[in-house]
Amino acid sequence: MYDGIIQDLIDEFGRLPGIGPKSAQRIAFHILQTESFDVARLAQLLIDVREKVRFCEICGNVAEEAQCSICRDVRRSPTTICVVEEAKDVVAIERTREFRGLYHVLGGAISPIDGVGPDDLRIAQLLTRLRDGTVTEVIIATDPNLEGEATATYLSRLLVQPGLTVSRLASGLPVGGDLEYADEVTLGRAFEGRRTVER
């Protein structure tokens, strides 16, 4: 309904997750009419993020170098690995300041409906990291929903090896939701109260 280019911008914003047509329109007009909004900066960041951001070769977290800032941090304990679905979850857990070990980002969760199986996740890389015996505990911190639970169960059965404890975040997380939306206190307590998985 708008003249060409504005409608193009509205359409492009409408492709982003969580932005409906009305929001896209509101954003496009905001950008058009707000002189102080730096369009060049946002445009450059969009390009840069795709070009410069990669995934840590060790844990799969986002990184601007070959390894992420957590894997490069010598103060982090190398004996504990916390397994999460997404890089977003690393940030959520870091905010609690409860965990001083390393991470492993799976890149998703097992979901037959979405056609995601164990081979689509970074599970082989996790097994490689466990091979030399440095790691003594794996904390499974997948989302407290169906896919996350399935992934946790799969991993807890797979990761049976001498000297390795496998634990799961304590319930206390609101069930059915996404880990990243948990508040810091809830997530912190879930960490403290994590339990060893019985097998």
Using CB under 8 A, list all residues that contact a copy of itself.
Answer: 1-6, 8-9, 12-13, 15-19, 22-23, 25-32, 37-50, 52-53, 62-64, 68-69, 86-88, 91, 94-95, 180-181
Taking the complex as a whole, how short is the minimal distance between the CB of residue 166 and a copy of itself, in angstroms? 27
Q: What is the nearest approach in angstroms of a copy of itself to the Cβ of residue 99? A: 13
CB of 86 to a copy of itself, least distance (A): 7
Task: Give the span between the Cα atoms of 96 and 38, in whole angstroms.
Answer: 33
Single-letter code of the amino acid located at 4: G
CB neighbour burial string for 29-58, b if at least 16 within 10 angstroms, e if fewer:
eeeeeeeeeeeeeeeeeeeeeeeeeebbeb
Residue 84: φ, ψ to 5°: -125, 165
Which of residues 56 and 159 has its CB atom nearest to a copy of itself in the complex? 56
Q: Which is nearer to a copy of itself, 48 or 161 (CB)?
A: 48
Q: Which residues pair with 196 in a beta bridge?
A: 167
Decide whether 11 or 133 has the Cβ nearer to a copy of itself. 11
Token pair recorded at residue 135: 């790691």
Q: Which is nearer to a copy of itself, 69 or 134 (CB)?
A: 69
Nearest-approach distance from CB 162 to a copy of itself, in angstroms: 36
Cross-strand pairs, 83: 104, 140
